[in-house]
């Protein structure tokens, strides 16, 4: 149906149909499941008793224990669910290639961790982070001209962010962004192609930049990674 609308070349409607067609064509079942897990996880965490108990164990296990929440059981359930989701991601990588080979994950686990931090431990935010890093990783599938055009886009975005930083009273941050924007702009002007090595390292550089600039404003669950014994005070 969307392909039929796209071929009509109707103003705006055909463009929107082409976008929807691209987002809904040739999708695997694992991709559909991953997309559906975002609203399902948000509902489960914030609109159910189970989600309230799970979040309370992550924030204040001693307080949750005093209210009768089985802390150990909830911790094990959380670990099992996270392990199943991680296994789902690994299964997708294996099914995509059709076979298993050494180094197949290419450190994507660290990128997944960065998406978690970028999303501030929220399902919708994590989905946005996954989209950002997925876009950076998908640049390897495009030709160098498209990636070269992205350099100009990055320079423009950095320029706007620099003006915003200066406006809110952060001149040093703004100056650094101006320098970075100038570097991207000059590189766009003097080069005709982008080396494949730069394209391959794009997702990892994006990860480092996000963690360097965004992680300072984010807060993980208070008891995340902290050992706890029944009856102890945090």
Residues 6+ apart with CB under 8 A from 181: 154, 155, 156, 158, 159, 162
143 located within any domain? yes
- Identify whether 177 is part of a domain: yes
Tokens of 105: 């994950």
| Cα-based angle 136, 140, 146 (whole degrees, multiple of 5) | 80
Cβ atoms 47, 29 nearer than 8 A: no
User: Interhelix angle for 123-138 vs 29-46, to 10°?
Assistant: 150
User: What is the number of domains present in the chain?
Assistant: 1
- Indicate the pTM of the whole model: 0.73
| 196 lies in some domain | yes
| Domain residue limits at 135 | 107-226
Domain annotation covers residue 22: no
Residue 175 lies inside a defined structural domain of this protein: yes
Q: Is residue 12 part of a domain?
A: no
* 169: Cα within 13 Å, side-chain hemisphere: 0
Query: Within a domain: residue 20?
Result: no
Tell me whether residue 61 is in a domain. no
Please report which residue ranges of the chain form alpha helices under DSSP H.
2-7, 13-24, 29-46, 49-59, 61-66, 71-97, 108-118, 123-138, 144-167, 171-190, 196-214
| pLDDT, tens digit only, all 234 positions of the chain | 777 787 877 777 888 888 788 777 777 888 888 889 999 999 999 999 999 999 999 999 999 999 999 999 999 999 999 999 988 888 887 777 677 777 777 777 888 888 888 888 999 989 988 888 887 777 766 655 566 777 777 788 788 878 888 888 888 888 888 998 898 888 888 877 777 777 777 777 777 777 776 666 778 888 888 888 887 765
């Amino acid at each position: 149906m969307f392909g039929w609308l796209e071929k009509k070349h109707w103003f705006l409607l055909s463009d929107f149909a082409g976008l929807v067609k691209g987002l809904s064509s040739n999708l695997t079942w694992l991709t559909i499941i991953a997309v559906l897990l975002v609203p399902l996880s948000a509902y489960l965490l914030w609109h159910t008793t189970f989600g309230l108990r799970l979040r309370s164990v992550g924030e204040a296990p001693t307080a949750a224990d005093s209210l009768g929440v089985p802390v150990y059981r909830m911790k094990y359930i959380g670990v099992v669910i996270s392990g199943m989701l991680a296994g789902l991601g690994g299964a997708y990588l294996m099914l995509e290639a059709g076979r298993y080979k050494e180094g197949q994950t290419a450190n994507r686990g660290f990128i997944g961790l960065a998406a978690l931090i970028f999303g501030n431990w929220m399902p919708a935010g994590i989905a946005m982070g996954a989209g950002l890093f997925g876009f950076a990783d998908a640049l390897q599938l495009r030709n160098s001209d498209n990636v070269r055009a992205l350099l100009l886009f990055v320079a423009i975005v950095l320029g706007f962010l620099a003006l915003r930083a200066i406006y809110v009273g952060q001149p040093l941050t703004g100056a650094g962004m101006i320098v970075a924007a100038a570097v991207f702009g000059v590189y766009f002007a003097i080069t005709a192609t982008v080396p494949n090595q730069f394209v391959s390292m794009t997702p990892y550089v994006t990860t480092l930049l996000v963690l360097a600039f965004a992680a300072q404003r984010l807060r993980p669950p208070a008891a995340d990674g902290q050992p706890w014994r029944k009856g102890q005070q945090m």
